[in-house]
Chain A
Amino acid sequence: MNLVQQLINGLILGHAYALIAIGWTVLLGVARLVNFGHGQMYMIGAFMAWWATAPLGLPYPVAVLVAVAAGALLGLLVQAVMLRLTLEQNLVSIMIVTLGFGHVLRGAASLAFGGTPQVLETPPSLIEFELAGAWITAQDLLIVAAAILVFALLRGVVERGRLGRTARMVAEDPKLAQLAGIDVTRVYLAVFAFEGAAVALAAALVAPRTPILTSIGFEEVIVTFVVVVLGGIGSVAGSYLAGVGLGLFTALFGGFVSPAYTTAASFAVLTAVLVLRPGGLAAGRAVR
C-alpha cells in the first residue's frame, strides 16, 4: 500500500480511536473519574448492536440506539453503585471497582452470548468504494462523521454555555459546587451515563470492522488511555487530535514498519510526549 492509502486508513482509524475515547475524556475532564470497565462496556455495546440486528432483526439505526441506551444504563448503574467513592474522590477504589465491573460484564456477556465470534453486519459496511487507491466503506465515513459531530457538539457545550460551566465547576471543586447550589450527584450520574452511551455508540459504529467476541475491549481501553493522556487529560480538542494522530501513527507504522509492534511503538511515543510535554499535547488547556 502506498502512503496516501495508509493516510486514509490512518484517518479512519484515528476517528474511530477518538470516538472510542470521548467518554473517558469527559469522565476525566468533568468528574476526574476513571473507568477501567470502559473496554468491556465497548464489548457490551458491540454485542447489543449485534443482538438487536441479527437475532432481533431490527434495522441498524435502531440497533445503534439500543446499544446507546444500554450503554447509558450501564453507566448509570456503575456510578450509582460507587457514588460514595466518587463523592469522596477515592480514585484508587474507583479504579478497582470499575476494573471489577469490567470483569463482571465480561462474565455476564459470556453467559448471555457464548463463545462464538459474531459479525455485526450493517448496510453501510457493504457499500464499498475506492478513494485515491484505498478501498473504504460507507461505514468508515459514518465513523468519521460521527466522531467529528460528537466532538464538535461537545466542544460547543463544554466551552460555552451553562452546562459546560457547571461541569467545570464540579471538575475544579465538587464541594464548593454544592455550595453554589449544584446537585453534584446528578452531574456525576449524567457524566457516567454519557461515558456509557458514548462508548456504546463507538462500539455500534466501529465494531462492524472486526469480529465481536466477549474477550474484546482490552485494545480499546489501551487506545483510550493513550488518547486521553496524549490529548491532555480532559481536553476535548486534545483528545480529538490525539485520536487522529494515534490512528495515523498506527496505520503508517503498521504499513511501513511492522504491524506487530504498533502498540509498543504507541507507548514509546506516549512516553516521549509525556516527558517533553507533561500536560499532554493540549497542555495548558487541560482540566487537570
Chain B
Amino acid sequence: MSDVVLEARDLVVAYGGNLALDLPHLALRPGELVGVVGANGAGKSTLVNALLGWSRGTPRISGSVRLAGEEIGALPTHERVRRGLLLVPEGGPVFGRLTVAENLAAAEAAAGRRGYTEAEVFDLFPRLRERLHHAGAALSGGERQMLAIARSLRLGPRALLLDEPSIGLAPRLVSTVLRTVRRLVDAGLPVLLVEQNVRAAIEVVDRLVLLERGRILAEGPVAAMRDDPRIIEAYLGDTVA
C-alpha cells in the first residue's frame, strides 16, 4: 500500500438520478503523471472533484479515498486540502479581487506540510513575478492557470489534480504548461492530469485512463495506450505519428 499516494475505490457520483461516475479503482503512485482523457461529459471533472468531495453542484458522492494510507473519503474538502490533496479545478480559477501576491500569500501550507516557497513558484512561473500586483481578474487565461497551479504548490501538495490546465491556451503555451507539469512530477510530486488534448497529453504522461460515460473504458501505460485502437480512433485519428 505504501507505494500508492492516492487511491480511490468504488467512487460513485450521481447528480439527482443520473450516474456521472462509477469508478471501481484508481491509483496514483509516487513520481507518476497519470492522464485522464475522455469526451465532453465523460466524467473527468466529476472524477477529480469527487476525490476532494467537492463540486459546484450538489452531487451525491460515495466511496473510499485514501491519501498516503489515510482514509479521507469522509472528510470535508478543506480537510483533504490540508492533508495535501490539491485540486486546480476546471477553468483554473483564481480569486479575481485579490492581487496575484495576495492569491499566493493566502495559500499557506497547513501545519506539518511544506509548501513551495514564493521563490520556487516564481522559478517555475516567471510571468507571475511580473504580474505580482495585478488583480487576479486582470490576468490572461494562461496566467490564471499558472497562478492557480502556483497557489496549489504553495499549499504543500502530496498529490496534485489538474483539471484541463491547457484549455483555451495557445498551442505553444499548452506544451509549456504540460512540460512544467512534467517537471513537477519529476521533482517528486504525483499528478493526475485531466486533458482534452490527448495528443499533447501522450507526450508527457506515464499512464493514461480513458473515461467514457462515467466508467473507465481503458487504462494502462502510455506506450501501450497510444496504440490502443479506441484511443487512436477517437482521439488521434489516422494521422498518428
Query: Residues of A at under 8 Å CB distance from B?
Result: 88, 162, 165-166, 168-169, 172-173, 175-176, 178-185, 287
Is the C-beta of B96 less than 8 angstroms from some C-beta in chain A?
yes
Assess whether A175 is in contact with B78, with CB atoms less than 8 Å apart: no
| Cβ 8 A contact of B97, one of A172, A181, A183, A185 | A172
Given contacts A172-B95, A175-B56, contact A180 B107 (CB under 8 A): yes
Assess whether B54 is in contact with A168, with CB atoms less than 8 Å apart: no
Assess whether A181 is in contact with B81, with CB atoms less than 8 Å apart: yes
| Cβ 8 A contact of A179, one of B81, B97, B102 | B81
Against A, the Cβ 8 Å flags (1 = close, 0 = not) of B88-99 are 010001011110
Cα distance A254–B53 in the bound complex, in angstroms = 57
Taking CB atoms, residues of chain B closer than 8 Å to A162 are: 106
Against A, the Cβ 8 Å flags (1 = close, 0 = not) of B149-161 are 0010001000000
Nearest-CB distance from B91 to chain A (Å)? 10
Most A C-beta atoms less than 10 A away, residue of B56, B78, B89, B98: B78
Assess whether B95 is in contact with A179, with CB atoms less than 8 Å apart: no
Assess whether A165 is in contact with B98, with CB atoms less than 8 Å apart: yes
5 more A-B contacts (CB under 8 A) besides A178-B81, A181-B107, A287-B97?
A169-B98, A175-B54, A178-B78, A180-B107, A181-B110
CB-based nearest A residue for B77: A178
Against A, the Cβ 8 Å flags (1 = close, 0 = not) of B104-118 are 011100100000000
Is the C-beta of B87 less than 8 angstroms from some C-beta in chain A?
yes
Assess whether A168 is in contact with B81, with CB atoms less than 8 Å apart: no
A-B residue pairs in contact (CB < 8 Å), sample of 14: A162-B106, A165-B102, A165-B106, A168-B97, A172-B97, A172-B98, A173-B93, A176-B95, A179-B77, A179-B87, A179-B89, A181-B81, A181-B155, A183-B76
Assess whether B54 is in contact with A178, with CB atoms less than 8 Å apart: yes
Cα distance A88–B57 in the bound complex, in angstroms = 9
Nearest-CB distance from A182 to chain B (Å)? 6
Taking CB atoms, residues of chain A closer than 8 Å to B56 are: 175
Q: In terms of DSSP, what is the predominant structure of the interface of chain B? A: loop
Given contacts A178-B78, A180-B106, contact A169 B58 (CB under 8 A): no
Cα distance A93–B52 in the bound complex, in angstroms = 28
Cα distance A287–B76 in the bound complex, in angstroms = 27
CB-based nearest B residue for A170: B95
Cα distance A176–B87 in the bound complex, in angstroms = 10
Taking CB atoms, residues of chain B closer than 8 Å to A181 are: 78, 81-82, 107, 110, 155
B18-66 with Cβ < 8 A to chain A: 52, 54, 56, 58
| Cβ 8 A contact of A165, one of B78, B87, B96, B105 | B105
Taking CB atoms, residues of chain B closer than 8 Å to A180 are: 81, 106-107, 151, 155
Assess whether B102 is in contact with A176, with CB atoms less than 8 Å apart: no
Cα distance A183–B82 in the bound complex, in angstroms = 10
Given contacts A176-B95, A179-B77, A181-B82, contact A88 B58 (CB under 8 A): yes
Taking CB atoms, residues of chain A closer than 8 Å to B87 are: 179
Cα distance A175–B52 in the bound complex, in angstroms = 12
Cα distance A88–B58 in the bound complex, in angstroms = 9
Cα distance A182–B76 in the bound complex, in angstroms = 10
Cα distance A176–B106 in the bound complex, in angstroms = 12
Assess whether A169 is in contact with B78, with CB atoms less than 8 Å apart: no
Given contacts A165-B102, A166-B106, A169-B106, contact A182 B95 (CB under 8 A): no
| Cβ 8 A contact of B95, one of A168, A178, A183, A184 | A168
Taking CB atoms, residues of chain B closer than 8 Å to A173 are: 93, 95
Taking CB atoms, residues of chain B closer than 8 Å to A166 are: 106
Nearest-CB distance from B2 to chain A (Å)? 25
Taking CB atoms, residues of chain A closer than 8 Å to B95 are: 168-169, 172-173, 176
Cα distance A169–B82 in the bound complex, in angstroms = 17
Cα distance A175–B76 in the bound complex, in angstroms = 12
Assess whether A176 is in contact with B110, with CB atoms less than 8 Å apart: no
Nearest-CB distance from A282 to chain B (Å)? 15
Taking CB atoms, residues of chain A closer than 8 Å to B78 are: 178, 181-184
Cα distance A75–B96 in the bound complex, in angstroms = 30
Assess whether A172 is in contact with B106, with CB atoms less than 8 Å apart: no
Most A C-beta atoms less than 10 A away, residue of B52, B54, B97, B102: B97
CB-based nearest A residue for B84: A181
Cα distance A181–B87 in the bound complex, in angstroms = 11
CB-based nearest A residue for B58: A88
CB-based nearest A residue for B152: A179
CB-based nearest A residue for B96: A172
Taking CB atoms, residues of chain A closer than 8 Å to B107 are: 180-181
